[in-house]
Amino acid sequence: MGLSVLLAILNISFGQPAQLMIKGYGKDLHLEHKVSPKEGLFSIGRTYNVHPKAIAAYNKLDMAKGLTVGQLIQIPLTDTNFSQASNKGTPIYYTVGAKETLQKVSNLNNNVPLENVREWNKLTKDDLAAGKKLIVGFLVTGENAVAALAPKKENKETIGNPPPAEKKTEPDKVVTKNESSKEDKKTEQDKPVGKNDPAKENKKAEQDKIVAKDEQVNENKKTGPVNVRPPVTATAQIAAQGYFKTDFDQQVRLSPVSKTETVTSGIFKMNSTPREVKYYLLADRVLPGTIVRVINPDNNIAIYAKVLGEMSGIRQNQGLDIRISNTAAASLGINETDKFIVQINY
């Protein structure tokens, strides 16, 4: 009896942390989980309401092999287990970085609505202190996750012996309740989305026009060199993401994104024309030819750059993690020529 209690305590200590801390940025968000004794992909999947195959693919794991105690694995946050529309579930926190505004926190966390962040965290002002932990969404789990991960509807009705029937009847009732509540939630959520989409698109179009005018006025006032390529409207941003975006999409289909980092970058110059849309990158420990998504966290603009080679062993590169081409920096809206912060994933 004492041994079982001890094992239960040990299992809790290895399980979910008291506070779930979000990792990644944009739409590529995830949690980190430390594997406890006797845990596998299926039990972890039930805990976080994620299919074990999705966890394996996200971490490039072999489903046939077991996990190691203490191993850190990433849990993808998707529409099935992550909500930023309501406060139902387990809170997920983000640690505010230096000089980050509430808008920047929103940009880095899938554009979570500012009013939701204010309400969840009871904020009376938008000034944020570095190191502050903010709720940016909720982990949605429950008994319906167990039913979704281990569907055995056909076997439940055919098993009639008393011992297994006792084990199967309770999940049957839970699944029925959860399916009905899940459909009710779905219908409630579907209605506002359909009504709000046109209004959001109209507001977005108006904002794009205002931003375009403001940036044009600012560029006219400049006396120095003007960045010709920073994206302004949503359409211009997509067009300026670069020649290698299609290659990145194909690369992700073959091998899901597994690395997300915030790095210090510099610039290297390449001979290019004003219409150049091929962006390049120098980085250590990244296979040449890899396509990397580079994001400026100050404006959430992204471009896609191809790795040309390494940059180690050169004194001028000390203090830098990567270098991006001058055309890539211009498209990201970066004016600094020495060092600046960007986020990369591949």
DSSP 24-40: EETTEEEEEEEPPTT--
- 271 pLDDT higher than 80: no
pLDDT higher for 296 or 14?
296
Together in a domain, 221 and 242: no
Count the neighbouring beta carbons within 10 Å of the beta carbon of residue 314.
11
Give the lowest-confidence range in 36-45, 93-102, 234-243. Answer: 234-243
* Domain identity same for 48 and 78: yes
Residue 248 sits in a domain whose CATH number is 2.40.40.10
Identify the pLDDT of residue 138: 95
Question: Residue 204 — very low, low, confident or very high, per pLDDT cuts 50/70/90?
Answer: low
Q: Are residues 123 and 198 in the same domain?
A: no
pTM, two decimals, is 0.41
E-strand stretches of 213-309: 260-268, 279-283, 291-296, 301-309
Between these two residues, 141 and 205, which has the higher pLDDT value? Answer: 141
Task: Tell me what the mean pLDDT of segment 320-324 comes to.
Answer: 90
Both 147 and 167 in a single domain?
no
- Indicate the range of 20-34, 52-66, 161-175, 241-255 predicted with least confidence: 161-175
pLDDT at 48: 92
Let me know whether 23 and 92 are in one domain: yes
Average pLDDT, the chain: 74
> What backbone torsions phi and psi does residue 128 show, to the nearest 5 degrees?
-120, 140
**Portion of the chain with pLDDT greater than 90, in percent:** 33
pLDDT grade for 241, boundaries at 50, 70 and 90: confident
- Are residue 248 and residue 341 in the same domain, yes or no? yes
Q: Is 54 domain-assigned? A: yes
Whether 245 is covered by a domain: the verdict is yes
Mean pLDDT score, 52-72: 90
Structure tokens at 226: 């003007």
Which of 226, 243, 271 is at the close of a domain? 226
| pLDDT of res. 254 | 87
Judgement on whether residues 205 and 238 belong to the same structural domain of the protein: no
Least confident of 7-16, 151-160, 288-297, 300-309: 151-160
Cα–Cα distance between 182 and 88 in angstroms, integer?
A: 13
Band (197; pLDDT cuts 50, 70, 90): low
Specify whether 10 is located in the same domain as 110.
yes
- pLDDT-derived band at 83 (thresholds 50, 70, 90) equals very high
Could you tell me if 7 and 141 lie in one domain?
yes
Domain check: are 299 and 320 in the same one? yes
The total number of structural domains that make up the chain: 3
Residue 157 placed within a domain: no
Task: Give residue 337's pLDDT.
Answer: 72
214 or 64, greater pLDDT: 64
Last residue of a domain, one of 193, 226, 259: 226
Is residue 156 situated within a structural domain? no
pLDDT digit string, tens, across residues 143-193: 433 333 333 343 433 334 444 444 443 443 434 444 444 544 444 444 444
The share of the chain scoring above pLDDT 70, in percent, equals 65
129, part of any domain: yes
Which structural domain, as residue segments, surrounds residue 316?
234-345
Mark which of 151, 177, 204 sits at the end of a domain: 151
Per-residue pLDDT band for 21 (boundaries 50, 70, 90) equals very high
Whether residues 273 and 133 fall in one domain: no
Residue 276 lies in a domain: yes
Q: What per-residue confidence (pLDDT) applies to 147?
A: 36
* Residue 202 pLDDT: 58
**Three-state secondary structure of 95-136:** ECCCCCCHHHHHHHCCCCCHHHHHHHHCCCCCCCCCCCEEEE
Judge if 28 and 84 occupy the same domain.
yes
pLDDT class of 142 with cuts at 50, 70, 90:
low
Structure tokens at 32: 């980190």
